[in-house]
Structure 1
Amino acid sequence: MKSIIKYKKPKSQYLISILSVVIVSLLCLFVRDIVEYKVVGYLLLVVVSLLAIFLEIKPVLVGAVLSALALNFLFIKPYYTLHIDSAEDTFLLMMFFIIALINAVLTNKFRRMQRAIHIIETRASTMKLYNSLLDSLSHELRTPIAAILGSIDTLQQKNVHLSIETQEKLHNEIEKASMKLNYQVENLLNMSRLESGYIQPKLDWCDVKEIIYNVCNRLTEETKDHKINYLIDDNLPLFKLDYGLMEQIIYNLVYNCAQHTPKGANITIKAQYEVDADYDNHIDLIKKCIIMITDDGYGFPDGEIDRAFDKFYRFKSAKTGGTGLGLSIVKGFVQAQNGTISLKNAENGGAIFTIEFNVDCLPINSLENE
């Protein structure tokens, strides 16, 4: 309710304030003969207090004045007149009016103070977050840049004779560092696209098997100390997905497994096609593309696994660098294609990422027949 009223226009706030007082007054009017006007005054004070929590100060003051007039006009004898016979009733009405105004002003000031504290805390949290990001980036970007500059500097030295083997090694170092640098820059650009809501999937028929093999070929250097196992259905159909987004999803997940598992660990990529019946929604068949990427490494800390997809989050026990963007980008790209992603630890150690898409599919054999 708070979030809805907060963004109401000023005119709407005045209307809400007036209607609230009028409705409560009319309801109390039905029981005027059995309830003292002092009780009605308490109820109207409660209404003013609630309005002060959600509305700006001017509409609340209007509500306070209107509640005092309603109390006098409808509930203090003589009825339907602003005249008051009793001095005690006059004093009580004045006190009601003063208390209502003070209550409205103090509640409004307290709410503004809460907003200011929240803004300060949010800014402090944001600054801490971005400082953490900058620290990570300074390390993640400086390392490949230093490798590139060092290799180029060595290659440019004219007074040093380099063997062909050494030159090739330096070229490989430059290529490897450039790929790592490109990966970090792509992650930053992708996160910027997600934050701005710019992601608009371009759905087309995709060969998931081809995407998986292409990505793993690009990650040959990162996975050279790991064993990649492929469990892909032979008759896997084409799925209507975004080719570029799917590449980045698979890339980030495999890269994450390679970076956070020991040498010699197994990375298994499984892709399959399933058809389920949905009787609840009267849909005969639901066609699913399911991709699972697992490893037999250390897995995720039990107390932190729920934050694995949070932006900029890095696990406390993480020994390797990273910006904490890779998995959050994966989740964003999966959701952009109306898919779901889940993460759990395997019983024998390691992590299991499961991605599911309810998508149109096109069997390969139907293409061959065409």
Structure 2
Amino acid sequence: MYSAIYKRSNQYLISGLLIVAATLISQLSINHIGYQGVALIYLLVVSISAMLFDIFPVLISALVSATLLNFLFIKPLYTFKIISTEDALMFFMYLILALVNTVLTYKIRDYNSKKRDEEEKTKTIDLYNILLNSLSHELRTPIATIIGSIDTIQDQQAKLAETHKQELYNEISIASSRLNRQVENLLNMSRLEAGILKPSFDWFDINESIFNVLKQNQEHAANHHLVFTPQKNLDLVWTDGGFLETILQNLIYNALQHTPQHTTILIEVRLEGQFLEIRVSDNGIGFPKDSIPFAFDKFYKLNNQTTGGTGLGLSIAKGFTEALAGTISLENKKTGGALFTVKIPSKTLAIKDFQHE
């Protein structure tokens, strides 16, 4: 893992510098620690290198340190001769320990790296299996509705009453909207993962943006109460309007999908210092406490969740918020229900002032 951070040439250089540093420290302290202590210092340096670098720079580091130990610290000094049997044994023990330590540390690190890769791969496969299972329902259902309605209209056009035809057209419209929403979520998630989100800032009417999102959700809000009071002092906001609507769309649609019928969903917007704050709350049952930390995770769905969805909406809202350098949080209200708070660095301008610019 760490070796990928350093280029091979840099690994050799850093290993060499560590050996030089160890040598200087050993020279200064040789009278106190003896060459046995020097051997331990070199062994520590080799161990550190083994944890950070590829095996070849570390092997060279082990061999160079052994050579320096012999040449500079084992008597007779400045020669490669070893007279004492004890010194010779010490030297070869150091060399063997350094080499074994190098290989074992590298092997353990390599094993852990492969194990992490396998776990990550397994986790990714599991996540995408969840996505595919969700999509098998989320995409198949509206497609089946559209095909079934069109077949009914075509086969029984002469027999169908006008009101029945209109009902079928409405079903096609709702199913198409649902299908389009899922495709948009997949495209947005692809953009987030690819890191190609680039906001285009301009002055946007925040009230108009919110009303646009509410209009898009009218069909889904038939059994809910959407409440929003426009803020007169927040006419224009310096932000990316498309990003902002995507955030709102996913938060509001999430609330509509996962709250009981007749729930009130409240949208509030205000300027807090240099931040635009948007709050989307409801008076439903809220989130289980142990689920709140994972609510924005990709593909995450509550265990007791009975409604559809791919588990992408909240993670997309979080991704687009962060693309605007903002933050998003979730908490349960004391009075019941969930509260999402989005804070985005921004500035505002009244329309009358904008007209004079």
TM bracket, shorter-chain basis: over 0.9
Q: Who is 2:184 aligned against?
A: 186
User: For 1:104, which of 95, 102, 105 is the aligned residue?
Assistant: 102
Q: Who is 2:87 aligned against?
A: 89
Give the superposition deviation at 1:35. 1.6
Q: What amino acid does structure 2 have at the position aligned with 1:12?
A: N
Question: SS at 1:6's partner residue?
Answer: coil
User: For 2:74, which of 76, 82, 107 is the aligned residue?
Assistant: 76
Give the superposition deviation at 1:369. 5.9
Give the superposition deviation at 1:73. 1.3
Query: Could you tell me whether the CA contact under 8 Å between 1:61 and 1:104 is conserved in 2?
Result: yes
Counterparts of 1:109-258 in structure 2 under 5 Å? 109-158=107-156, 161-258=159-256
Moved more, 328-337 or 175-184: 328-337
Give the superposition deviation at 1:43. 2.0
User: For 1:333, which of 320, 323, 340 is the aligned residue?
Assistant: 320
Q: Distance in 2 between matches of 1:32 and 1:235?
A: 75
User: For 2:303, which of 306, 313, 316 is the aligned residue?
Assistant: 316
How far does the alpha carbon of each residue in 1:103-155 deviate from its partner, in whole angstroms, 9 at most, with x for none? 11111111111111111111111111111110011111111111101101100
Q: Distance in 2 between matches of 1:158 and 1:231?
A: 46
Give the superposition deviation at 1:368. 5.4
Q: Who is 1:280 aligned against?
A: none
Give the superposition deviation at 1:252. 0.9
Q: Who is 2:291 aligned against?
A: 304
Q: Who is 1:349 aligned against?
A: 336
After superposition, the Cα gap between the structure-2 partners of 1:308 and 1:52, relative to the gap in structure 1 and judged at 3 Å, is: same
Give the superposition deviation at 1:234. 2.5
Q: Distance in 2 between matches of 1:95 and 1:290?
A: 66
Q: What amino acid does structure 2 have at the position aligned with 1:365?
A: K
Q: Distance in 2 between matches of 1:122 and 1:368?
A: 54
Give the superposition deviation at 1:327. 0.7
Deviation >3 Å, runs of 4+: 367-370
Give the superposition deviation at 1:235. 2.9
Query: Could you tell me whether the CA contact under 8 Å between 2:276 and 2:347 is conserved in 1?
Result: no
Give the superposition deviation at 1:318. 1.4
Matched, 1:55 2:34: no
After superposition, the Cα gap between the structure-2 partners of 1:369 and 1:21, relative to the gap in structure 1 and judged at 3 Å, is: closer
Counterparts of 1:1-12 in structure 2 under 5 Å? 3=2, 5-12=3-10
Question: SS at 1:30's partner residue?
Answer: helix
Q: Distance in 2 between matches of 1:85 and 1:264?
A: 93
How far does the alpha carbon of each residue in 1:55-93 deviate from its partner, in whole angstroms, 9 at most, with x for none? 111111111111111111111112222122212211221
Query: Could you tell me whether the CA contact under 8 Å between 2:328 and 2:342 is conserved in 1?
Result: yes
Q: What amino acid does structure 2 have at the position aligned with 1:230?
A: F
Q: Distance in 1 between matches of 2:332 and 2:92?
A: 67
Q: Distance in 2 between matches of 1:72 and 1:341?
A: 61
Q: Distance in 1 between matches of 2:316 and 2:17?
A: 47
Question: SS at 1:161's partner residue?
Answer: coil
Q: Distance in 2 between matches of 1:101 and 1:369?
A: 76
Query: Could you tell me whether the CA contact under 8 Å between 1:292 and 1:354 is conserved in 2?
Result: yes
Give the superposition deviation at 1:159. 7.4
Query: Could you tell me whether the CA contact under 8 Å between 1:72 and 1:82 is conserved in 2?
Result: yes
Give the superposition deviation at 1:355. 1.3
Uncovered stretches (5+) of structure 1, i.e. residues with no partner: 277-285
Query: Could you tell me whether the CA contact under 8 Å between 2:207 and 2:235 is conserved in 1?
Result: no
Give the superposition deviation at 1:6. 3.2
Query: Could you tell me whether the CA contact under 8 Å between 1:237 and 1:273 is conserved in 2?
Result: no
Query: Could you tell me whether the CA contact under 8 Å between 1:228 and 1:268 is conserved in 2?
Result: yes
Name the TM-score, length of structure 1 as normaliser: 0.93
Query: Could you tell me whether the CA contact under 8 Å between 2:326 and 2:343 is conserved in 1?
Result: yes
Q: Distance in 2 between matches of 1:179 and 1:193?
A: 21
Q: Distance in 1 between matches of 2:348 and 2:156?
A: 59
Name the TM-score, length of structure 2 as normaliser: 0.96
Q: Give me the identity figure in percent.
A: 46
Q: Who is 1:291 aligned against?
A: 278
Q: Distance in 2 between matches of 1:91 and 1:343?
A: 65
RMSD over equivalenced CA pairs, Å: 1.5
Q: Distance in 1 between matches of 2:91 and 2:146?
A: 81
Q: What amino acid does structure 2 have at the position aligned with 1:215?
A: V
Uncovered stretches (5+) of structure 2, i.e. residues with no partner: none
